[in-house]
Chain A
């Protein structure tokens, strides 16, 4: 995230605080595609991902209304809301089974086993991520799903780079342990 982007973001945020619809529209255009991708990766469902984006922006408006909106780092703020929504969703969610019919075919002639394997792998990573403490899950998601640099994450979460790396390290170890445990349980 370079200085120019930060300046633009702060300008948009100031516009949003004035309820300037143009600025709000630009914020939506700038951040909703990334939030949608993020939500889809964590949820694996188009409609849920759209719901997540919708709730994220709705909560952002409520925060502005109550004077509790972000003063800076708007993008990180939106990702935090989305991540919390996903975490809540998984807390409430009943375990689901994976069927071939549910799977969106990604190439012309996938083997049924390939579909199930891919889906299982996705679910495994999602479940593992969502079992992490929220701050660890957020760091891992931003780092490995969204491709943010540690410096960006540190700046967005207002933590030191060392703290972010520590969270990342603990999360990686926890993920590995969870997946190993999961595989052992399946075997």
Chain B
């Protein structure tokens, strides 16, 4: 058989490799599985070893030993100890923040991760910096969302909201840029949102109906963002402003109106005061009744007298005189009720001084 020799070329060996030029398209499902497996492994490893050997703060002892000899602590003065304590405190905080970067919602260190991000966001004053940072943080939220879904967990409701919030902040920062900068910023926003939508498409539809609803809602919100990012600069600013106003109105509405089934009722405009004995329980007549939830309502306005003998009610009247020499209160001839509180009109006499025994 007269075969073509793929390397039989004295001029350009590239032609010899033509046989390997065409590569079949990679299966997107396999690629997505590969990525999920890689990130899951990364997460597992980062949990067991949060720091690489090179990054561990283990060399700090060596210079101290070199400077102070075998018993460094004894030779240190108070200032030295204080400095080391401050250093340890700062290093410890740094290590915690560092270790928290791979945490996911539900992990112990996740709030530390969020706090470190908030701190970073606080010091990003320039709109361009703020936009970049918030886009990066939105991407982080998306990674967390996808990882949790990939692991079969239901992401908490706060996660997609946090993602949307970061995107909103990024859009807001972009709107503060001047026109030429805004054009490129919009392009970046568009690419980012589109990429996030694509990442969501790699997910298998969750079995849990609530998780599925959350996923759909998130896709809708990202589509809205995509639409916004594609608008001309002036419309972008106008539409974003309107969106922000709407959201602010919704926020205000949510904070002002008690929700049926919600937790704590307003407590304002209560015309009657809780009874002195206070306590929990169904409220009395209120003009504005808290929601029907299980919150703490004001107590009833008690007009009646507690039953004698019951606890915490007013005791019966005291007319008797304490026994001379008795330590407290009136004597047993006219014993008070079992409860605590004022009598029903009578005033105990000043107890006689006794020896208290």
Contacts and interface: CB of A to CB of B under 8 A. Distances in A.
Interface of A: 17-22, 24-25, 28-29, 32-33, 36-37, 40-41, 46, 50, 53-54, 57-58, 61-62, 64-67, 69, 104, 106, 117-118, 120-122, 124-126, 128, 140, 144-145, 172, 175-176, 179-180, 183, 186
11 contacts: A21-B147, A24-B42, A46-B24, A46-B30, A54-B38, A65-B52, A67-B53, A104-B24, A125-B7, A128-B7, A144-B16
Contacts of B175: none
Contact of A124 (B6, B14, B37, B38): B6
A37 B31 CA distance: 12
Chain B interface bracket (under 10, 10 to 19, 20 to 34, 35 or more) = 35 or more
Contacts of A145: 17, 20
B134 to A, nearest CB: 13
A67 B52 contact: yes
A69 B57 CA distance: 18
For the residues of B in contact with A, the DSSP-based class is helix
Contact of B20 (A66, A117, A125): A125
For the residues of A in contact with B, the DSSP-based class is helix
A113 to B, nearest CB: 9
B19 A122 contact: yes
B76 to A, nearest CB: 31
Contacts of B140: 21-22
Q: Give the most central of A19, A20, A126, A144: most B CB within 10 Å.
A: A19
A19 B7 contact: no
Given A32-B34, A145-B17, 14 more contacts: A19-B102, A21-B46, A21-B101, A21-B143, A22-B143, A25-B35, A33-B31, A36-B31, A46-B24, A57-B34, A66-B52, A67-B53, A176-B8, A180-B5
Contacts of A40: 23-24
Contacts of B45: 19, 61-62, 64-65
